[in-house]
Amino acid sequence: MGACQEDDRRLLWADEFDGTALDTSNWNFKLGDGCPDLCGWGNNEPQIYTTSNHSVSNGSLKITGRLQDSVYTSTRITTQGKFAFQYGYIEARIKLPEGKGLWPAFWMLGSDITEVGWPACGEIDIMEWIGRDADSLFTSLHTPASYGNTINTKKTKLETPSAWHSYGCDWREDQIVFYRDDKEVYRFDPAQKTEDNYPFQKPFYIILNMAIGGNFGGAIDDSIFPQTYEIDYVRVYE
C-alpha cells in the first residue's frame, strides 16, 4: 500500500473475506451466461455464472472455475447498488489460477451504467490476466473514445504470476495510476479531458470475476479444471 501510505489516506471500505460465507451486504451475484447486457458482458464467453462456484475460508475468497457435463461455470460478484466511490486508492491481494482459457479480473464500472450504458459509463480494469499469456498483467481503461481495440492499456511482464501479489489503482480527478506490489505499472493522464476520453469523474462500483474463454480469454484447455482465483482482501482508501 505504498501509494496509500504516502498520502496518509483513511480506510473507507474493505472486505477481508473473514468467516465462512460471502458478505452479501457488500456483494451481489451476477448470474447467467455470456449474453450481452447492461454490464457490458458479452465477449463470447461460454461460462455460466452461479452462486455456487465460490467459497470463503481461511481469510480469503475463492472463485473456482469448473467444467462438468460440457458446461463451464464460475462466479462473478459486484458491489453495484451496495458500495461505490469516487476517487481514492483501491487494492486487492490476489493469487491467480493457472491454465489456458482462464480470465480472472479485478475491475470497476461507472455506477451510471444503467442510465448511459457501456462504454459511456467508463471501465477501469485494475487487473486482468489470461492463461494463454500467463506472464503478462493487463491494466486497461475503456471509454467512449477508446473501446473496441482497447488503446488505453498496458501489458506488464509478470514474475511468479500464480503467487500472492497486490494490485492497486490510485484514482484521482485528473489521472489514474495502476500498481502491482506498490510499483507503478501504468499511468493514464490525457492532456485534455472530456466525457469521451475520461468518463472517470463520478462514482464507480467494484467487480470480481473469473471468465472462461471468450474473445480475450481464448481457447480453453479442458484438462485444467477445476482452477481457483483467490482474493485475500479488497480495500478502498480515501
Phi then psi for residue 158, to 5 deg, are -105, 145
Name the residue among 6, 60, 28 with its Cα closest to residue 234.
60
From the list 45, 91, 128, 230, the catalytic residue is 128
Q: How far is CA 22 from CA 25, 57, 205, in A?
A: 9, 10, 17
* Element containing residue 164 per DSSP (H, E): strand 164-171
91 part of the active site: no
- Is the C-alpha dihedral spanning 215, 217, 222, 227 positive or negative? negative
Task: Measure the CA–CA gap between 123 and 109, rounded to whole angstroms.
Answer: 5
Cell numbers that stand for 177 in this block: 495510476
For residue 82, what are the β-bridge partners?
none
Per the CB < 8 A criterion, the answer to whether 91 and 1 are in contact is: yes
| Amino acid residing at 27 | W
173 part of the active site: no
For residue 76, what are the β-bridge partners?
209
From the list 6, 123, 173, 195, the catalytic residue is 123
Cell numbers that stand for 1 in this block: 500500500
Residues annotated as catalytic (active site), given as ranges: 123, 128
